[in-house]
Amino acid sequence: MDPRFLRTFVTVARLGSFSAAARELGYTQSAVSQHIGVLEADLGAPLLTRRPVEPTEAGARLLEHAEPILLRLDAARADVAKVAGGPPRSLRIGTTPLACGHAASLVAPALTVTVRVADRVTIAREVATGVLDVGFVDGVAAVNDPLRLPELGLTVAEVWEEPLAVAVPADHPLIARTVPGIARPSSFSRSTDESRRSRPAVRLEDLVDARWIDAPVVCAPLDELAAIARADGFRPALHYDGADVSGLLALVAAGHGLALLPRRVVTHGLALAEPALTHRTELLRLGG
């Protein structure tokens, strides 16, 4: 199973065409056909149907392994290159939108610093492959639990955890029902210990049936949230693909749904009863 063949296999599967894959990879169609042929002979099973070109069951199984393998091979190369190469000339920082504040905590030395914002998995991948030097990623997790990221041999160099809150519109019925009158803009920043204690916090499982906004780039994807909170059925009322927090908050304010975010960015929100759930930011580095 030559990695090159695996690469053409995933490319063919992705593009649904031998010829298109050949074009993308700089091979001839013939070569691609031979790659797939060798792979199928080696594994003893057809991996793709032809016309239309789609993965067979065996091919689907292989696909699920091939991509992590190829990614990890790139990570290995990048990791070796890093220790082999001398001191870095520039610093390339990657960060998810909400982790950007922590990224600023890195004192910038006398280097050219560039910052790139993307989603969690992209950041992890690019740190692993050496495109980025460090990455800041955030998400929702149980206290002291690492974020669930693809295993690429990355190390978590530093960790920050902060409380969560459910962002809600100012006039959301849930506020009226469970915590009357807290929906003031400064509810979190100004509330005293006393007012906070007197206000019952919301349990996540009670909000399962509410309308949620799925904003996987900004914070935890809903399906992941369901796994963490041990509650099925967080169905999205709306899918927000932006990377911008204020845009998400505007949607929440307009009543399109709720969102689970770090308390610091939430103006109208409900405190969480789950103390074991936090917003976690991790600083990722390559190697050990």
Partner DNA sequence: CCTTCTTACGGAGTCCGTAAAAATA
Partner DNA sequence: TATTTTTACGGACTCCGTAAGAAGG
Site for its own copies, rule CB under 8 A: 1-3, 43-45, 47, 57-58, 61-62, 64-66, 68-69, 72-73, 75-77, 79-84, 142, 144-145, 150-151, 153, 230, 276, 287-288
Judged by beta carbon, residue 26 or residue 44, the one nearer DNA is: 26
Judged by beta carbon, residue 144 or residue 198, the one nearer its own copies is: 144
Q: How far apart are CA 52 and CA 50, in angstroms?
A: 5
Judged by beta carbon, residue 15 or residue 227, the one nearer DNA is: 15
247 contact, one of its own copies, DNA, none, CB 5-8 Å limit per kind: none
Q: What residue ranges bind DNA (CB under 7 A)? A: 2, 4, 17-19, 26-31, 33-38, 50-51, 53
9 contact, one of its own copies, DNA, none, CB 5-8 Å limit per kind: none
Strands of the 134-142 sheet, one edge to the other: 112-117, 90-95, 134-142, 277-286, 154-162
Q: How far apart are CA 15 and CA 54, in angstroms?
A: 9
- Nearest approach in angstroms of CB 85 to DNA is 22
Q: How far apart are CA 49 and CA 31, in angstroms?
A: 18
Judged by beta carbon, residue 54 or residue 171, the one nearer DNA is: 54
Contact 258, 207 (CB under 8 A): yes
Q: How far apart are CA 71 and CA 74, in angstroms?
A: 5
Residue 44 CB neighbours (<10 A): 7
Closest CA to 117 of 245, 207, 226, 270: 245
Judged by beta carbon, residue 17 or residue 187, the one nearer DNA is: 17
239 contact, one of its own copies, DNA, none, CB 5-8 Å limit per kind: none
